[in-house]
């Protein structure tokens, strides 16, 4: 896609700090560096996001993630790793080319905050929703 920044990085038109590359996937350091070692793993083929991808392309992308994540953790000496994927603007996607964030974690105050608000479960509503999703 001509106006996609990640496609331009893949094509070599924009420089990137690459950490992994093969025929299907490219991984490079995110320029924002939310935490040191923050890496993006992207398919070389353009897809808007994970929701557009087919099973084979998704498999190609995610089969590389664990090894790249382990290498990032080893080099950065991180204590943990958040592996994130945002789909569409409402979910925080800002570049519309599928990408997986590998965010090394060092301590609770390392600059990355992720939280989920919890509620008392409504088991009837959960069962109804699960049934609808399963039947879709």
Model confidence at 7: pLDDT above 80: yes
pLDDT of residue 114: 84
What is the helix (H) or strand (E) element at residue 103, kind and residue range? strand 100-105
Predicted confidence band at 116 (pLDDT cuts at 50, 70, 90)?
confident
Q: What is the pLDDT of residues 55-112, one digit of tens each?
A: 999 999 999 999 999 999 999 999 999 999 999 999 999 999 999 999 999 998 888 8
Residue 37 burial by CB count (10 A; 0-12/13-18/19+): exposed, middle or buried? Answer: buried
Residue 45 burial by CB count (10 A; 0-12/13-18/19+): exposed, middle or buried? Answer: middle
Residues serving a catalytic function are 99
Q: What is the pLDDT of residues 24-55, one digit of tens each?
A: 999 999 999 999 999 999 999 999 999 999 99
Predicted confidence band at 2 (pLDDT cuts at 50, 70, 90)?
confident
The structural domains of the chain, with segments of one domain joined by +, span 5-135
Q: Regarding the domain delimited by 5-135, which CATH topology (the fold level of the hierarchy) does it fall under?
A: HIT family, subunit A (3.30.428)
- Tell me the pTM: 0.92
């Amino acid at each position: 896609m001509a106006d996609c920044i990640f496609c331009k990085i893949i094509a070599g038109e924009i420089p990137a700090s690459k950490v992994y590359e093969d025929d299907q996937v490219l991984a490079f350091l995110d320029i924002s560096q939310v935490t040191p070692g923050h890496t993006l793993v992207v398919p070389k083929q353009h897809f808007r996001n994970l929701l557009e991808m087919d099973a084979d392309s998704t498999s190609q992308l995610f089969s590389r993630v664990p090894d790249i994540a382990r290498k990032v953790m080893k080099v950065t000496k991180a204590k943990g790793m958040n592996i994130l994927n945002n789909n569409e603007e409402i979910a925080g996607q800002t570049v519309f080319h599928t990408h997986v964030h590998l965010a090394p974690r060092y301590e609770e105050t390392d600059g990355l905050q992720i939280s989920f608000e919890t509620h008392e479960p409504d088991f009837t509503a959960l069962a109804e929703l699960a049934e609808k999703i399963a039947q879709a």
